[in-house]
Amino acid sequence: MFNAHIQYGESLPKTVTIPNPGRTSRSFMFHLDEDFDVDAVATFNWSHDGTNMVPLTDSTGTAVTLTIPSTTKQAGIMLTDLVAPFIHIVFTHESGTAKPVITEEAETDITDTSATVSGTVNPGGSATDVIIEYGQTTSYGDSVDATESPLTAGTSGASVSFALAELSPSTTYHYRIVAANALGTTNGTDQTFTTLE
């Protein structure tokens, strides 16, 4: 039996190539990391040389696929009538199609000791945690969760906001919004604002 583990935050699509030395049937078991919160799909292909993949189909000509549910975290399949020396398994996402996308960062209501930062985050189809990192350099050092975090699974932009307090007067602050879902982490671009005197 071949076992494969898909890790949280792992970049998909991902292809695993398995040598198949003369076996006509093989069983496969796939496991999702505990924090993986979207379904994954394994699509099976074959090749003679290990590079040029051909979709593996059933007797009706339908591509052989297996969904690995995020609820159960595992699924298995038995493939028969295998004659090719290489089996390729391509892992993709059935739900959750991309890492988060961050846009429209802005700061408002700046005082001598506080500020409000806002932005738009596209969750990419899966639940997304959103924080802001901020500090007097690009090393940041402090962070706070977005008021709306975590964002629910969706594929359109959602507004997020952050209330920053206990800042120093007349000081320039760097910040970036950071969003993470099962497909990975996106760091927003560095932004700055200056508190009032």
Buried b (16+ CB within 10 A) or exposed e, 113-128: eebebbbbbbbbbbbb
Query: How many structural domains are present in the chain?
Result: 2
Which tokens hold the place of 15?
């292809």
What is the rounded distance in angstroms from the CA atom of residue 73 to the CA atom of residue 98?
A: 20
Residues 47 and 117 in one domain: no
What is the rounded distance in angstroms from the CA atom of residue 193 to the CA atom of residue 127?
A: 29
pLDDT above 70 covers what percent of the chain?
95
Residue 164 has pLDDT above 80, yes or no: yes
Q: CATH number for the domain including 159?
A: 2.60.40.10
Residues 105 and 190 in one domain: yes
**Contact indicator for 77, 66 with CB cutoff of 8 Å:** yes
DSSP one-letter code for 109: S
What is the rounded distance in angstroms from the CA atom of residue 155 to the CA atom of residue 158?
A: 9
The last residue of a domain, from among 51, 77, 93: 93
Q: What is the pLDDT of residues 101-125, one digit of tens each?
A: 899 999 999 999 999 999 999 888 7
Mean pLDDT throughout 42-53?
A: 93
What is the rounded distance in angstroms from the CA atom of residue 40 to the CA atom of residue 25?
A: 23
Residues 188 and 110 in one domain: yes
Residues 84 and 7 in one domain: yes
What is the rounded distance in angstroms from the CA atom of residue 152 to the CA atom of residue 123?
A: 8
Domain range for residue 124? Answer: 101-194
Q: What is the pLDDT of residues 64-94, one digit of tens each?
A: 999 998 889 999 999 998 988 999 999 987 6
Buried b (16+ CB within 10 A) or exposed e, 50-65: eeebeebeeeeeeeee
Q: How many of the other CB atoms lie within 10 Å of CB of 103?
A: 12
Residues 80 and 107 in one domain: no
**Contact indicator for 33, 6 with CB cutoff of 8 Å:** yes
* Tokens 């760091």 sit on residue: 187
For the full predicted model, state whether its pTM sits above 0.95.
no
What is the rounded distance in angstroms from the CA atom of residue 121 to the CA atom of residue 128?
A: 9
